[in-house]
Amino acid sequence: MKVAIVGGTGAFGRALAKRLQEVGTDEVLVGSREAERAQATATELGVAGGRNEEVVSGADLVVLAVKSNATLATASELAAAIGTTPVLCVASDLRFSAEGVLPGRHQGSLAEEVARILRAPVASGLQSFAAANLVEGDSGDALICGGADRAKELSLELAGRLADRAIDVGPLENSRALEGMTAVILNVNKRYKAHAGIRLTGLP
């Protein structure tokens, strides 16, 4: 499939593009707000690149991988360009406090807000995939949530290239749990100087 990574110049986007390029099944495009930055990253990784608006057009799946606090503004800016193309949101709403990293909200999730902004179907997942693990480690299970639509279907297909198991964890509302789990992982990483992932037990 043709995968456009919005914010593909960042830590996560670059790692995802690199991994997908290694797997070799998909056509990968990295996007940026700046054409030159996109091109530099694309050349380095051996993929295609362009401005975010450009790479989303004609893609089968858009991965929304900008800095988390820019997710909603970016979704609004790209809404017309994305149209009805399925989207995978990998963002987490977090709050950084003196005690540690905390879930950013009591209700809802970033991904649900993205789904309200776009006309496209939206899935959410891969929050537990540290960029470092995507490149050279064990990422654990790939957890994806979303409605019974093309976004979840394609996101699970993509996730299956990155992990031994891509797991459907239910409707998009569960993005709140996935996003909150990022806070758990970041605290673990800090405490144990690790790049932790998640693996579910008891599955067939």
Ligand X SMILES: NC(=O)c1ccc[n+]([C@@H]2O[C@H](COP(=O)([O-])OP(=O)(O)OC[C@H]3O[C@@H](n4cnc5c(N)ncnc54)[C@H](OP(=O)(O)O)[C@@H]3O)[C@@H](O)[C@H]2O)c1
Residue 109 in the binding site for ligand X (CB under 6 A): no
Does 103 contact ligand X by CB under 6 A? no
Enter the DSSP assignment of 173.
G
Confirm or reject binding of residue 37 to ligand X (CB under 6 A).
yes
**Which of residues 31 and 86 has its CB atom nearest to ligand X in the complex?**
31
Tell me the CA distances in angstroms from 1 to 97, 124, 160, 161, 162, one per residue in order.
Answer: 40, 18, 13, 12, 14
Comparing CB distances to ligand X, the nearer of 33 and 161 is: 33
Which lies closer to ligand X via its Cβ, residue 22 or residue 34? 34
Longest Cα–Cα distance in the chain: 47
Q: Which residue, 13 or 86, has its beta carbon nearer to ligand X?
A: 13
For residue 39, the cross-strand partners are: none
Rule CB under 6 A: say whether 74 interacts with ligand X: yes
Of the candidate residues 49, 68, 111, 183, the single one contacting ligand X (CB under 6 A): 68
What share of residues in the chain are helix, strand, coil (percent, to 5)? 45, 20, 35
Least Å from the CB of residue 30 to ligand X: 9
Among 70-78, 111-119, 142-150, 151-159, which window interacts with ligand X (CB under 6 A)?
70-78
CB atoms within 10 A of CB 98: 4
Q: Which is nearer to ligand X, 86 or 140 (CB)?
A: 140
Is 139 one of the binding residues for ligand X (CB under 6 A)? no
Contact (Cβ atoms closer than 8 angstroms) between residue 94 and residue 68: yes
Least CB distance to ligand X at residue 33 (A): 4
Binding site for ligand X (CB under 6 A): 7, 9-13, 32-34, 37, 65-68, 70-71, 74, 90-92, 126-127, 129-131
